[in-house]
Chains A and B, each alone.
Chain A
Amino acid sequence: MATEAADHGVGGPSPLEQFEIKRLVDIDFGFDASITNSSIFMMVAVVGVTIFMVVGMRGGALVPGRWQSLAEMSYEFVAGMLRDNVGSAGRRYFPFVFTLFMFILFCNLIGMIPYTFTVTSHIVVTFALAAVVFIGVTVIGFIRNGIGFLKLFVPSGVPIFLLPLLVLIEFISYLTRPISLSVRLFANMMAGHTMLKVFGGFVVSLGIVGGWAPLAFVVALTGLEILIAFLQAYVFAILTCIYLNDAFHVHH
């Protein structure tokens, strides 16, 4: 993908070059399990979250310091989100949603550091996360409600002759959930980083005279991207909560 873009490009490297996955350590178990720059940054994110939570809560002080209150705030944020959207039944799934939120947040934020790799800018990664949510919600829904989970597809209070069409639409919209969930995160990350690179290219090509305007724009965009990095992690987590709510309370 990147080489094709370089053929099209007019001067300078392609803005898509930053998404290239490079194999660093070759490992082959009959399938390709090499350590790439992508998997390195996933590990960095996991280690980062672990350090953030474990070291932050190590003191366990009654009056928290700065670090501890950040850790408590992130816990309270996700717990409140789950409480508002799913209710008390959702408490069991708090660890899952919290892990999801923190992993995506750290991947997005680490990607904002120059010369790093944004793990979530690849659809494989986000689709795997979304597929876990989708399959998990479907399985939980069928376990808790049995065959009654299918009532999710039957909206109440519609004329009987419209029902087949609406059930079909509801079913299709249910099936597109993992796609929209994953494409939203991936496209936001990819578009943002491509845009930063494109405007960075403007700074270089306009030089010392005209480069200040795009430079100011890049600075503003970086702020926006940090907001988006948080917002997309939030949206992913809150949609997971909303989907979980469907599995617990099937009244349409």
Chain B
Amino acid sequence: MEADAAKLIGAGLATIALAGVGVGIGNIFGSFVSGALRNPAAAPKVFGNVLLGFALTEAIALFALVIAMLLLFVF
């Protein structure tokens, strides 16, 4: 029973990773908006990179999800 409780606590703790990812995604789009306001002509060219950075950052959050899933269902 205690192992079960520890599992749930561990899975919950794994979601702390979302804090870092929130900072990361906010940083990407915040930098994009401030850059785009300074130089609107260049904005469409970098939007692909923005999406790539967003997807890469989001994937880091999903690694935490994988850890939570492993804790809940595998161990």
- The interface residues of chain A lying within 8 Å CB-to-CB of B73 are 1, 4-5
Contact A187 B55 (CB under 8 A): no
* Closest-CB distance, A217 to chain B (whole angstroms): 18
Interface of A is mostly: helix
Evaluate whether A188 and B58 lie within 8 angstroms (CB atoms) in the complex, with A231-B51, A238-B52 already known.
yes
Contact A232 B55 (CB under 8 A): yes
Q: Which listed residue, B51, B62, B72, touches A188 by the CB 8 Å rule? A: B62
Taking residues whose C-beta sits less than 8 angstroms from the other chain, chain B's interface range is: 10 to 19
- Any B CB within 8 A of the CB of A35: no
Contact B55 A235 (CB under 8 A): yes
- The interface residues of chain A lying within 8 Å CB-to-CB of B54 are 231
Within 8 A of A (CB), among B56-75: 56, 58-59, 62-63, 65-66, 72-73
- The interface residues of chain B lying within 8 Å CB-to-CB of A191 are 62, 65
Contact A235 B65 (CB under 8 A): no
Residue of chain B at shortest CB distance from A2: B73
- The interface residues of chain A lying within 8 Å CB-to-CB of B62 are 183-184, 187-188, 191
Complex Cα distance A231/B58, Å? Answer: 11
| Binary contact track A186-219/B, C-beta < 8 Å → 1, others 0 | 0110010000000000000000000000000000
Taking residues whose C-beta sits less than 8 angstroms from the other chain, chain A's interface range is: 10 to 19
- Any B CB within 8 A of the CB of A145: no
- Any B CB within 8 A of the CB of A74: no
- The interface residues of chain B lying within 8 Å CB-to-CB of A235 are 52, 55-56, 59
- Any B CB within 8 A of the CB of A99: no
A-B contact pairs, 19 of them (CB 8 A): A1-B73, A4-B73, A5-B73, A8-B72, A183-B63, A183-B66, A184-B55, A184-B62, A187-B63, A187-B65, A187-B66, A188-B59, A188-B62, A231-B51, A231-B55, A234-B52, A235-B52, A235-B55, A235-B59
B residues near A (Cβ < 8 Å) are: 51-52, 54-56, 58-59, 62-63, 65-66, 72-73
